[in-house]
Chain A
């Protein structure tokens, strides 16, 4: 019995840091409507700076002073980030904000390694809380007890701050109606900055307080951010009490999940989140959102099919691409195949995002499922390659059918978070179910048959499939189904009023996109000859988002260009520098701020500017306050 009590207390102690970080994220989201992906990065910097300071400053005052000082320093960094970066993108669609803050995260990951080195750092114990307390034969670290008390204390302070101060009243008002707050004479800019500073302070404090418990390392950001997403989604975005309750719930699920289901402890938390989202999409303590802000897809120029000249030009480009094996070597051909595969992957996400208005943050799940499908069929069932290629993507299709059904019940950031959670579930299964998937070691030896084995043949296969997929999806865009899908994207309410079953259309689009991604994954498995959990990881999902964004979300098939440029750049970058994440992150931030319309979008705008003297402004970065009278 004592053991379970101690396990429960350990869970409560973990909940403290999780609550600090999650409440910060929630407060920032409430006012700025930005889901701050970089929140984990701020948590991590908090831990690193606290580590350095506690090493330098001695004594009890030195230790606790360092913790607070570290949190303040990071809050200052947060203020800079808000003023320099976020102020430019408050009015952009939420996808852009998620991506920009994700870019920041990537940069920070490389920066901390540059500054503090790649090794784990073990911090000092907290003065006065070094020992453990005996509880019926079980030890409880006294620092854990300190954390258990700290959680509710911080909750109380935050409650007073929001209920009893003018700043708190303004923040709560802005959470509901930012423009009205401005129309009453309040400077939103500084309100936003101060809110961001408070949120980041909480994250950094959470990180700094972890150093007596855990080693500081450069991957702690992603680990906490996924958990924090789960916490705020379960508790309800914008609710501090919700963040507290959910942090406790998640920490206890972790603490006891390991005892009861050691194999699926990761999955347990995500399953709870999925259930909460389906039953109460706005979380336990959240409030249903008023009509969500539009995800990208607002096109200024109506989409049109290619003219016959443009078709001929595209065909010519394809033919030129097909001549690559005549003069390129094997390495170039393998790179070419990889690019073609990523075109398939990017085009599938583009279909879901741009045409369907559904920005998935876990699209790699279906890519990876396709890859695993091939591995199972080829390695275990020993089927011929053609059959595998036809059946393998079905695993992606089935995954998309199951998860898509739940995901399309939501929209906007919640949709993004749910797809991310589903992708993490699939990843956990691939990672933990070692007997079937090989776990971290993956499945090796998935090679193509002789007819497709040579680099040139495989390149032609990949190129051909990529071309077919792109054409098929373009046809779908201009089919009645495509019209219906675009109608639901632009207004669910109006499309339902003319008899379109919005959820079914979106679900179908999700399945189409998932299956297509599965085709890409299937080819990828043959290209690499192996399948790993990374093939369905977050970073691959984000790669896909960047490719679509780079090509242009407002375009019909900009993702093709986006995938080619991004993948080529990525492969080149990794071969050139060790700081590829830093460069890549900076690149993502730059696109979001400077080229929100992407490469193809920019080209289209330039072409249009030549035709017309005054180009219409992109609605993406225009102020959104304008709603019709």
Chain B
């Protein structure tokens, strides 16, 4: 397994947010984490990369337990994270944003260069020197993914990549994710949008109120309309 999460529990202050979350991601697989607003998708991702201080459980990445490591070490193992809020450095140009993400080459992961990323996201190549704060939402979404890819991750946690984007940009996003998959990057993508998830994912988990309540292939999910309707708003 590429990534195995076991018994993940997280708290924000006195509030218990995640309850015994567990899921797996295989080598080269794209797995969707589906759930409504506030179900705990983002918290799950933030907990995996160590951005939530109060958490317990086991996070195995490429056979190593990374749950005790600080954020930057987890990321340097090759576990990339793309936040939902995008968190572009608004004062930095596109190229500088990419520079912040740059990490050494990794043997077991595809190697991304600026040029390669500018072919994946042609818009970015046309605005290399534009400050991040003067980009549209869609361009920022591309930049945040490209920035994480500069770290040559072997697995990427993609938090709601389609949120707030126009249908045309969403199409581009689907293409980009499929290219990443073809290159050999494993992906966990959190989504509210089942149609989008179906276009890219091999398997799916459903999270509701901080608990995993379904796990299976997309076909298995389609066979259970009751679960789909109960936990996802379509």
A629 at interface, CB cutoff 8 A = yes
A215 at interface, CB cutoff 8 A = no
Stretch from B22-30, B84-92, B178-186 forming part of the interface with A = B84-92
B164 to chain A, nearest CB (A): 16
Chain A residues, Cβ within 8 Å of B102:
166
Mask, A593-629, CB within 8 Å of B = 1, is 0000000000000000000000011010011011011
B227 at interface, CB cutoff 8 A = no
Contact between chains at A185 and B53 (CB < 8 Å): no
Chain A residues, Cβ within 8 Å of B49:
183
B167 at interface, CB cutoff 8 A = no
B40 at interface, CB cutoff 8 A = yes
What total of chain B residues lie within 8 Å of the partner, measured CB to CB? 37
B96 at interface, CB cutoff 8 A = yes
Mask, B85-110, CB within 8 Å of A = 1, is 00101111000110111110000000
Contact between chains at B51 and A179 (CB < 8 Å): yes
**When A183-B81, A184-B75, A185-B103 are in contact, do A172 and B52 touch as well, CB less than 8 Å?**
no
Chain B residues, Cβ within 8 Å of A188:
72
CB < 8 Å: which of B42, B53, B83, B96 contacts A622? B53
B63 at interface, CB cutoff 8 A = no
Mask, B6-49, CB within 8 Å of A = 1, is 00000011100100000000000000000000101111000001
Contact between chains at A184 and B51 (CB < 8 Å): no
**When A172-B92, A177-B89, A629-B38 are in contact, do A186 and B51 touch as well, CB less than 8 Å?**
no
A182 at interface, CB cutoff 8 A = yes
Report the interface size class on chain A: 20 to 34
**When A173-B100, A626-B13, A629-B40 are in contact, do A183 and B89 touch as well, CB less than 8 Å?**
no
**When A169-B92, A625-B51, A629-B42 are in contact, do A181 and B100 touch as well, CB less than 8 Å?**
yes
Chain B residues, Cβ within 8 Å of A170:
100
Docked Cα-Cα span, A182 to B49, in Å, equals 10
A92 to chain B, nearest CB (A): 14
Docked Cα-Cα span, A188 to B53, in Å, equals 16
Mask, B119-154, CB within 8 Å of A = 1, is 000000000000000000000000000011001000
Contact between chains at B100 and A176 (CB < 8 Å): no
Docked Cα-Cα span, A532 to B13, in Å, equals 47
CB < 8 Å: which of B43, B73, B91 contacts A172? B91
Chain B residues, Cβ within 8 Å of A617:
54
Contact between chains at B53 and A172 (CB < 8 Å): no
Chain A residues, Cβ within 8 Å of B17:
629
**Interface residue ranges, A against B (CB under 8 Å):** 166, 169-170, 172-173, 175-177, 179-188, 616-617, 619, 622-623, 625-626, 628-629
Extra contacts, 19 of them, besides A172-B96, A183-B71, A185-B151 (Cβ < 8 A), are A166-B102, A169-B92, A169-B99, A169-B100, A170-B100, A172-B89, A175-B91, A177-B87, A182-B72, A183-B81, A184-B101, A184-B103, A185-B76, A622-B53, A626-B12, A626-B54, A628-B12, A629-B17, A629-B40
The 5 closest A-B pairs by CB, nearest first: A623-B53, A185-B75, A180-B87, A182-B71, A173-B100
Cβ contacts A to B, 29 pairs, < 8 Å: A166-B102, A169-B100, A172-B89, A173-B92, A173-B97, A173-B100, A175-B91, A176-B90, A176-B91, A177-B89, A179-B51, A179-B71, A180-B83, A182-B71, A182-B75, A184-B101, A184-B147, A184-B148, A185-B72, A185-B76, A185-B103, A622-B53, A622-B54, A623-B53, A625-B52, A626-B52, A626-B54, A629-B38, A629-B43
